[in-house]
């Protein structure tokens, strides 16, 4: 099977190449990739090369395929796994595997560490490392893009589950956010913040009564409020508030005022910025938990924390990096039950657009950049479909379709693109 893929050879050295995949073994699966969502983690890997903890030292001689938020269809199953998987099933991958006996070792991951599996490809070989860790997950929901976005949603789910609170007089930790508590998501209207809002409000088992979302970009806040309206959250029992902290003379005071000055039980920091971290620490309630969710590139990043409150107010801090298998399964289940992550997507493109998009990701505004790997398309914002449609009939029809969903991506739009967009 020939594949076309974006391969990493070193720092900022990404190449679109076509090559032959080897014949699969009994412990492998051949799969088609349909969609891949480009993550900031791929940007970091592309810029750091072998300095990245998941990139093999010999990547210049044995390049890896990048991309780890992908979904597709199983084509051929090795005989040792035919009892579990079958051709035609849709799938998603949990990339954060841990398989020390594998060829790459600790911290290996699809999209970082392997020559024949990664999301930015047309066809891949799913290795034994993934299978034995139960990281190939069947997806039964509509479309493919929700399964591509299951991995980032699983990171949010994992963060919620990782928060904890204490019991006075004991050393027991109660895991999870506080039911009916007060929650703040700081710098929370980027792609991952939107995923968090969607998940928190749609949860049935546990949710806050107050959810405050902050940012310093009014346009981004307004877009978030359009996708996830205050009235929608109220119907689900949550008082949702969007707050522009740039416009507040004292952001900490403004945030605490919304709680009656009691502070927040659960605070999530979605930007690796010291002032935002310090805001999060300053608004914690008694026994409040600060979750540093953002993944920094700077290994020396630090911020000041109030250790008086750590001692006397029982405040504490946790951090999470990715979700585990259970989180991914929960994410896919949420998608299958109707949670639509379309609000995260602001751009679509083809495999040809991956290199420039990945290397320049922080400079491209908006949310998730969704790639259809078998297609040859420029990276195009959904908001630009109508203008592009004046000269391109493909985008004219796509603009009409997403007009039915307030400009959001949809399964109907995806199906039309897969049927009509030019092949790579």
Report pLDDT digits (tens) over 61-72: 999 999 999 999
Looking only at the bridges linking them, the beta strands covering 90-93 and 136-138 are antiparallel
By C-alpha distance, which of 243, 256, 238 is closest to 186? 243
- ∠ CA 41-215-357, nearest 5°, is 30
Calculate the average pLDDT of the chain. Answer: 94
The band of 31, judged by pLDDT with boundaries at 50, 70 and 90, is very high
**pLDDT at position 104, please?**
45
Q: Reply yes or no on whether the pLDDT at 185 is more than 90.
A: yes
| pLDDT reading at 337 higher than 90 | no
Cα distances from 393 to residues 211, 399, 401, 406, 421, in angstroms, run 42, 10, 12, 20, 10
**pLDDT tens-digit readout, 251-274:** 999 999 999 999 999 999 999 999
Domains and CATH numbers, the chain: 1-148+340-424 (3.90.180.10), 165-319 (3.40.50.720)
Mean pLDDT of 226-230: 93
Task: For strands 13-20 and 2-10, give the pairing.
Answer: antiparallel
- CA 162, 201, 345, 184 torsion: positive or negative? negative
pLDDT for residue 28: 98
What does the pLDDT read at residue 98?
A: 62
Strands laid side by side in the 64-65 sheet: 13-20, 2-10, 64-65
For 275, other C-beta atoms within 10 Å of its C-beta total 12
Reported pTM: 0.84
| Residue whose entry in the numeric block shows the structure tokens 């979750």 | 291
The H or E element spanning position 196 is helix 191-202
DSSP calls for 369-394: EEEETTB----EEGGGHHHHTTT-HH
Q: Using the predicted structure, report yes or no on whether residue 244 has a pLDDT greater than 70.
A: yes
Query: What is the arithmetic mean of pLDDT over 125-137?
Result: 93
- Residue 362's pLDDT is what? 92
Strand blocks (E) in 280-360 = 284-292, 316-319, 345-350
- Residues 117-143 have a mean pLDDT of 95
Helices (H), 77-132: 128-132
| Continuous segment of H or E residues that includes residue 156 | helix 150-162
For 4-19, what is the mean pLDDT?
98
Model confidence at 105: pLDDT above 70: no
Residues 367-419 pLDDT 10s: 899 999 999 999 999 999 999 999 999 999 999 999 999 899 999 999 999 99
Which residue has 């979904």 as its token pair?
Answer: 71
Q: What pLDDT score was predicted for residue 406?
A: 84
Task: Indicate whether 208 pLDDT > 50.
Answer: yes
Q: Rounded mean pLDDT of 115-141? A: 95
Nearest one of 25, 1, 119, 21 to 81, comparing CA atoms: 25
114 — pLDDT class (breaks 50, 70, 90): very high
Q: What is the four-CA torsion angle of 264, 199, 402, 33, rounded to 10 degrees?
A: 130
Residue 374: exposure state from Cβ atoms within 10 A (0-12, 13-18, ≥19): buried
pLDDT at position 102, please?
47
Helix (H, G, I), strand (E, B) or coil at 137: strand
Average pLDDT in the 287-294 region? Answer: 96
Q: Is the pLDDT of residue 99 over 60?
A: no
| Burial of 182 (C-beta count, 10 Å sphere; 0-12/13-18/19+) | buried
């Amino acid at each position: 099977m020939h594949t076309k893929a974006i391969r990493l050879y070193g720092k900022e050295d990404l190449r679109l190449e076509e090559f032959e995949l080897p014949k699969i073994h009994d412990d492998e699966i051949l799969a088609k990739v349909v969609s891949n969502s480009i993550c900031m983690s791929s940007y970091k890997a592309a810029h750091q090369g072998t300095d990245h903890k998941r990139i093999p030292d010999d990547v210049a001689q044995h390049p890896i395929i990048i991309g780890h938020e992908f979904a597709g269809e199983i084509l051929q199953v090795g005989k040792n796994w035919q009892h579990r998987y079958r051709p035609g099933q849709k799938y998603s991958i949990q990339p954060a595997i841990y398989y020390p006996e594998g060829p790459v070792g600790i911290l290996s991951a699809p999209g970082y560490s392997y020559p024949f599996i990664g999301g930015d490809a047309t066809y891949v070989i799913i290795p034994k490392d993934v299978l034995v860790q139960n990281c190939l997950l069947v997806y039964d929901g509509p479309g493919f893009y929700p399964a591509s976005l299951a991995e980032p949603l699983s990171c949010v789910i994992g963060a919620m589950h990782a928060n904890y609170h204490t019991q006075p007089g004991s050393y027991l930790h109660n895991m999870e956010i506080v039911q009916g508590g007060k929650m703040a998501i700081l710098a929370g209207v980027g792609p991952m913040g939107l995923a968090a809002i969607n998940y928190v409000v749609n949860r049935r088992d546990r949710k806050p009564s107050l959810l405050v979302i902050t940012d310093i970009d009014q346009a981004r806040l307004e877009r978030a409020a359009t996708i996830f309206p205050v009235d929608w959250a109220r119907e689900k029992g949550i008082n949702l508030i969007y707050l522009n902290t740039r416009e507040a003379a004292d952001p900490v005071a403004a945030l605490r005022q919304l709680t009656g000055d009691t502070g927040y039980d659960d605070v999530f920091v979605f930007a690796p910025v010291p002032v935002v971290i310090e805001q999060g620490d300053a608004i914690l309630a008694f026994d409040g938990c600060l979750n540093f969710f953002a993944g920094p590139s700077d290994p020396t990043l630090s911020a000041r924390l109030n250790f008086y409150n750590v001692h006397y107010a029982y405040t504490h801090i946790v951090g999470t990096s990715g979700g585990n298998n259970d989180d991914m399964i929960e994410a896919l289940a949420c998608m299958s039950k109707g949670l639509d992550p379309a609000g995260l997507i602001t751009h679509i493109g083809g495999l040809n657009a991956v290199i420039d998009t990945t290397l320049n990701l922080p400079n491209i505004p908006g949310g998730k950049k969704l790639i259809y790997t078998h297609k040859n398309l420029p990276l195009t914002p959904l908001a630009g479909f109508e203008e592009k449609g004046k000269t391109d009939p493909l985008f004219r029809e796509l603009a009409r379709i997403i007009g039915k969903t307030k400009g959001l991506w949809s399964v109907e739009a995806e199906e039309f693109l897969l049927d009509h967009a030019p092949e790579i």
